[in-house]
Amino acid sequence: MLSLADLQSGVARAMTTGEREPVVARLVGGAHPGKRLDIHLRHYEASLTAALRDKFAACAWLAGADVMNAAARAYVHAHPPMQPCIAEYAEEFPRFLAKHGRARTMPYLESFAELEWAVGRVSIAIDHPPISWPDIGQIGSERLVDAVLSLQPGLRYLRSPWGVDQLMTTYLSGTEPERFVLPEAETFIEVRGARGTVHLTQLDDATFTFRKELAAGRSLGDAAGSALELDSTFDPGEALQLLVHAGLVVSAAVTAQENAS
């Protein structure tokens, strides 16, 4: 007798590969078990494809609904969800989309899709209470270089060879320009969002690196050092002040190990 685990594995394979016959032969009870399975297979594809279309509506606007639908259907079979939360699904879709069908003729599409994924993630974030400049001062200047900052959860940093932030701004504004020229230039984008609002800001390379490394959990001294390697005129103190005054820092602390040293 087929165990429940084996039956579940068979249904999962049927959903992702389309190979339904091995599991149909094992189904029992009721009339036309194969037709009942087909309902589940269609629902699996349709529901996840719809979820992808919703997450990447801007990509459909840019590349066309037919390109988006074909890539989404292929993706849900090649990359089934690995987590119960559908909000986390499709992080790898931008790369998949860029290599699928006619999308391969659009070299900017992967960057645009990555930006749309980031926009979707930050737009549902909830701001934490920010700290103030006096809070930073309490750490002490001699220990500040070892401090690790926590930034607002609604922040993402993306580097793109195209000016896709301008294209996304056009999409979000709901305007339909008669002509749009997508700049082909190295672009450093800060994506800031919370409670349904999103702001896109272009940064210079050094500031982008400084903020991205802080967001990744590197110390203030390490992040400043990386920025100074790119631009010797970079001012870490001023950059930190701008970050704090913008309300983007929610905590600053020196770890126990750094305190001991």
Dist. CA 192–CA 154, nearest whole Å: 6
* Mean predicted confidence (pLDDT) in 70-96: 90
In this predicted model, what pLDDT tens digit does every residue of 151-192 receive, in sequence order? 999 999 999 999 999 999 999 999 888 888 999 999 999 999
* Mean predicted confidence (pLDDT) in 7-16: 60
What rounded mean pLDDT belongs to the chain? 88
Percent of the chain surpassing pLDDT 70:
82
Tell me the residue length of the chain: 261
Mapped onto helix, strand or coil, the DSSP state of residue 131 is coil
The third-level CATH classification (topology) of the domain covering 125-261 is: Outer Surface Protein A; domain 3 (3.90.930)
pLDDT given at position 85: 79
Angle, alpha carbons 117-99-38 (nearest 5°)? 80
Mapped onto helix, strand or coil, the DSSP state of residue 232 is coil
Tokens standing for 85?
């939360």
Classify each residue of 178-188 as buried b or exposed e, where b means 16 or more C-beta atoms within 10 Å of its C-beta. Answer: eeeebeeeebb
With bands split at pLDDT 50, 70 and 90, how would you rate the model's confidence at 261? very low
User: Does position 115 have pLDDT exceeding 50, yes or no?
Assistant: yes
* Mean predicted confidence (pLDDT) in 117-145: 95
- Cα end-to-end span (Å), the chain: 63
Enclosing H/E stretch for 199: strand 197-203
Higher pLDDT, 260 or 33: 33
In this predicted model, what pLDDT tens digit does every residue of 191-243 receive, in sequence order? 999 999 999 999 999 999 999 999 999 999 999 999 999 999 999 999 999 99
In this predicted model, what pLDDT tens digit does every residue of 233-246 receive, in sequence order? 999 999 999 999 99
**Taking the CB of residue 108, how many other CB atoms lie within 10 A of it?**
18
- CB of 112 closer than 8 Å to CB of 164: yes
Percent of the chain surpassing pLDDT 90:
72
Higher pLDDT, 36 or 104: 104
pTM of the entire structure? 0.85
Q: Which amino acid is at 127?
A: D
* Mean predicted confidence (pLDDT) in 7-35: 61
Q: Which amino acid is at 35?
A: K
- For helices 109-123 and 164-173, what crossing angle results, to 10°? 60
- CB of 104 closer than 8 Å to CB of 36: no
* Mean predicted confidence (pLDDT) in 83-100: 90
**187-194, strands of its sheet edge to edge:** 155-160, 187-194, 197-203
Q: Please report, for the chain, how many H helices and E strands are present, in that order.
A: 14, 5
147 CB-side CA count, 13 A? 20
For CA atoms 69, 53, 167, 204, give the dihedral sign: negative
